[in-house]
Amino acid sequence: MKTGGNVSGVKTPDELTDLFRARGLKVTPQRQSIFRAVHANHEHPTAEAVYTRVVQEIPTVSLRTVYATLHDLAAMGEIGELELGTGSTRFDPNVDVHHHLVCTSCGRVQDVEDTFTSVRLPSDLDHGYEVSGTEIVFRGRCAMCRAAGGEQEPGSDPGSVVVRHLPAGSTPSPGDNHTHG
């Protein structure tokens, strides 16, 4: 199982600019700054984290503009929109099939590059669905939080795994979780 690594399948800020123009969407300095903030960002930022970075470059940018641009990028399939139970939607520039590790203490999210081909939904539990894809979320405490000591977040299961069976290329929706501990 590989974690981290290079973010693949991500368009450059210039390519995203061209894509927006080709679709008739307005390209502004604010949007271009958002493209740069998201490009190859391994941290799965929230809209608020993107805003914090962009506002340093363009103090007049609004949080609404950041949200709208991120949602436009997600609707185009250029970034993933993740509901991982960390309190805020995360945005993922890695649109290739992959899975996630989520720290239950600090909320850090890390990519896991593996196919997990042995994960299957038993036919007696599929409720008539034809499953064509799977997303797995592993939950636990990251190395930094474990090294720092302290308590795990109340109510969190240190070994829980969330498995979602999704159609290929689809974005998970809140409430699709099936937690196994």
In the chain, domain spans: 7-82, 97-180
Whether 67 shows a pLDDT value over 90: the answer reads yes
CB 30 within 8 A of CB 54: yes
Give 15-65 pLDDT, tens digit per residue.
999 999 999 999 999 999 999 999 868 889 999 999 999 999 999 999 999
**pLDDT at 1 (0 to 100):** 56
Cα Dmax for the chain: 55
Whether 81 shows a pLDDT value over 80: the answer reads yes
Q: Which residue has the higher pLDDT, 151 or 80?
A: 80
**pLDDT at 37 (0 to 100):** 94
CB 79 within 8 A of CB 91: yes
**pLDDT at 60 (0 to 100):** 95
- What pTM was computed for the model? 0.73
Q: Give backbone dihedrals phi and psi of 73, rounded to 5 degrees, phi first.
A: -60, -40
Pick one of 1.10.645.10, 1.10.10.10, 1.10.1760.20, 3.40.1350.10 as the CATH number of 7-82. Answer: 1.10.10.10
The DSSP symbol for 17 reads H
**pLDDT at 176 (0 to 100):** 41
Q: Give backbone dihedrals phi and psi of 102, rounded to 5 degrees, phi first.
A: -125, 125
**pLDDT at 151 (0 to 100):** 58
pLDDT confidence band for 115 (50 / 70 / 90): confident
CB 95 within 8 A of CB 44: no
- Taking all residues of the chain, what is their mean pLDDT, rounded to a whole number? 81
How much is the average pLDDT of 66-71?
Answer: 96
